[in-house]
Amino acid sequence: MTLGQKQRKFTLMVAELIQWAYDQGYELTFGDAYRDPRLHGVLGEKKGYGHPKSTHKIRLAVDLNLFKEGKLLQLTEDHRPLGEKWESMGGSWGGRFQDGNHYSLEHDGMR
């Protein structure tokens, strides 16, 4: 699958996860999605915060802010239901590597 094909698949997967989360009584806002290379460096370059090989830089990751009953849920464990749903859809959940609100699609070994 090409990078462009993965990006389009990822976008649809995110939409499906968002709908699922709302069906479970959660609400979401977006955190980081695309990280512009002018601010964060090109893929492989460490500039600013984040990993040099972040999938955010190639439009294959999004950080989601999770709410329940109006309260922001910040713990990785709070994201577990969404993370496990995301993994069942074929995605990589950041809760497996200390980044609980990170949802990505693997590309060339990057998550």
Domain ranges within the chain, ordered by starting residue? 3-104
Q: Which residues contact 77 (CB under 8 A, 6 or more apart)?
A: 95, 100
34 pLDDT band (50/70/90 cuts)? confident
Average pLDDT of span 32-40: 70
Q: Per-residue pLDDT for 85 more than 90?
A: yes
| CA pair distance 110, 6, nearest whole angstrom | 13
Residue type, 59: R
User: Which CATH number is 3-104 given?
Assistant: 3.30.1380.10
Average pLDDT of span 7-20: 98
Share of the chain above pLDDT 90, in %: 75
